[in-house]
């Protein structure tokens, strides 16, 4: 395979412009190091980690790979100062921030020589991220799993819209699990992709096997952007989803919905494998995911599929 080079591979110093999303209860050191060792960029997802747990994951990840890896920090994390201090102390080189204002921490991180990428769901926030000094953005379409924007703009429309207003590179996220989808996103204007759901179904992902198997068994229409009155989250439909969406449709207040959601729902579903009462955050592309395999094989499969599609975009050989 020939060497590929663009602004994203140079920014992260990786072989492939593929980033594994830093997902709660999923993206620990095992997944991040496996992805980085395979030539893509692995991210530790700090959103479900206590500060000391994050420190431990970073140290284990360093021991497991000599390749670049990063940390995702949701800016609404309650102990945000501690997470920021941890990545500085541990000399992390790449931080992806999400769910918050990029102005707050970008300059602090940049002062420590950290490459900062912010996750957005609209061109308005992409511009704000650029203005805040970010090095790149992840533009995340409506089809993506977990927390999402209120505009409901899909990847097909979002990527050209974002590309149009910023000069820093765009990573596309949402609906991307194959190399063909990666190439499609890059034709739309992305210079790389962030892949989430596909890596949830990797051996190294720390989420529960019940959750992985539920994704493999899911089909179109089995995920839904839900809890819009609280904060929009895409999840796999289950009993918890039915209860909360029925309440929402019957006019339940934000407060009532928050109470129904309670605490620890995502942990219950994703880490502990409770498929009935847990919150199972995942993207629409789960309908296309058919197996659980090592993360390195996923990286290689996406990359090979991407290159095959690039050689013969219209499948005229088939």
Q: Is 16 in the site for a copy of itself (CB under 8 A)?
A: no
Q: Is 251 in the site for a copy of itself (CB under 8 A)?
A: yes
**Residue (224 or 296) nearer to a copy of itself, CB:** 224
In whole angstroms, give the CA distance from residue 196 to residue 26: 10
Contact 208, 273 (CB under 8 A): yes
In whole angstroms, give the CA distance from residue 258 to residue 149: 18
Q: Is 206 in the site for a copy of itself (CB under 8 A)?
A: no
In whole angstroms, give the CA distance from residue 309 to residue 21: 23
> Would you call 78 exposed, middle or buried from its count of C-beta atoms within 10 A (0-12, 13-18, 19+)?
exposed
DSSP 110: H
Q: Is 256 in the site for a copy of itself (CB under 8 A)?
A: no
Contact 71, 43 (CB under 8 A): yes
Q: Minimum distance between the CB of residue 159 and a copy of itself, rounded to whole angstroms?
A: 9
Q: Is 143 in the site for a copy of itself (CB under 8 A)?
A: yes
- Exactly one of 37, 108, 154, 210 binds a copy of itself (CB under 8 A); which one? 154
Instruction: At 63, list the tokens.
Output: 């021991």
Q: Minimum distance between the CB of residue 282 and a copy of itself, rounded to whole angstroms?
A: 12
Instruction: At 314, list the tokens.
Output: 């219209």
Q: Is 20 in the site for a copy of itself (CB under 8 A)?
A: no
Contact 122, 151 (CB under 8 A): yes
- Exactly one of 65, 115, 181, 238 binds a copy of itself (CB under 8 A); which one? 181
Q: Minimum distance between the CB of residue 243 and a copy of itself, rounded to whole angstroms?
A: 15
Cβ contacts of residue 142 below 8 Å, gap of 6+? 121, 148, 149, 152, 153, 154, 155, 158, 174, 225
**Residue (55 or 234) nearer to a copy of itself, CB:** 234
- What mask, x for binding a copy of itself by CB under 8 A, covers residues 79 to 118? ----------------------------------------
Q: Is 308 in the site for a copy of itself (CB under 8 A)?
A: no
In whole angstroms, give the CA distance from residue 284 to residue 226: 13
Q: Minimum distance between the CB of residue 163 and a copy of itself, rounded to whole angstroms?
A: 10
Contact 138, 119 (CB under 8 A): yes
Q: Minimum distance between the CB of residue 309 and a copy of itself, rounded to whole angstroms?
A: 6
**Residue (71 or 244) nearer to a copy of itself, CB:** 244
CA distances to 26, 63, 107 from 87, in Å: 19, 16, 14
Q: Is 61 in the site for a copy of itself (CB under 8 A)?
A: no
Q: Write out the residues near a copy of itself by the rule CB under 8 A.
A: 6, 122-124, 141-143, 149-158, 160-161, 164, 174-176, 178, 180-181, 183-189, 220-221, 224-225, 229, 248-251, 284-285, 287-288, 309-310, 313-315
């Amino acid at each position: 395979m020939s060497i590929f080079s663009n602004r994203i591979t140079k920014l992260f110093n990786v072989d492939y412009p593929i980033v594994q999303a830093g997902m709660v209860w999923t993206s620990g050191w095992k997944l991040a190091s496996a992805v980085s060792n395979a030539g893509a960029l692995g991210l530790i997802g700090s959103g479900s980690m206590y500060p000391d747990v994050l420190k431990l994951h970073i140290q284990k990840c360093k021991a497991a790979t000599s390749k670049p890896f990063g940390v995702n920090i949701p800016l609404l994390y309650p102990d945000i100062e501690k997470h920021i201090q941890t990545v500085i102390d541990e000399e992390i080189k790449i931080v992806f921030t999400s769910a918050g204002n990029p102005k707050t921490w970008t300059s602090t991180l940049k002062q420590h020589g950290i490459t900062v990428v912010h996750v957005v769901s609209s061109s308005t926030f992409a511009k704000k991220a650029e203005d805040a000094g970010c090095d790149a953005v992840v533009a995340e379409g409506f089809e993506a799993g977990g927390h999402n924007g209120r505009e409901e703009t899909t990847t097909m429309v979002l990527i050209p819209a974002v590309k149009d207003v910023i000069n820093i590179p765009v990573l596309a996220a949402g609906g991307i699990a194959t190399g063909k989808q990666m190439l499609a996103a890059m034709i739309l204007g992305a210079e790389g992709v962030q892949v989430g759901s596909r890596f949830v179904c990797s051996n190294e992902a720390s989420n529960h096997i019940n959750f992985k198997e539920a994704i493999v068994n899911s089909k179109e229409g089995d995920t839904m952007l839900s809890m819009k009155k609280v904060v929009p989250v895409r999840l796999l439909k289950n009993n918890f989803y039915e209860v909360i969406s029925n309440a929402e449709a019957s006019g339940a207040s934000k407060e009532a919905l928050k109470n129904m959601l309670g605490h620890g729902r995502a942990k219950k579903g994703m880490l502990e494998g409770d498929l009935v009462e847990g919150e199972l955050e995942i993207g629409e592309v789960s309908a296309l995911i058919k197996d659980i395999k090592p993360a390195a094989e996923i990286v290689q499969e996406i990359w090979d599929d991407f290159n095959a599609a690039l050689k013969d975009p219209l499948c005229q050989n088939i």
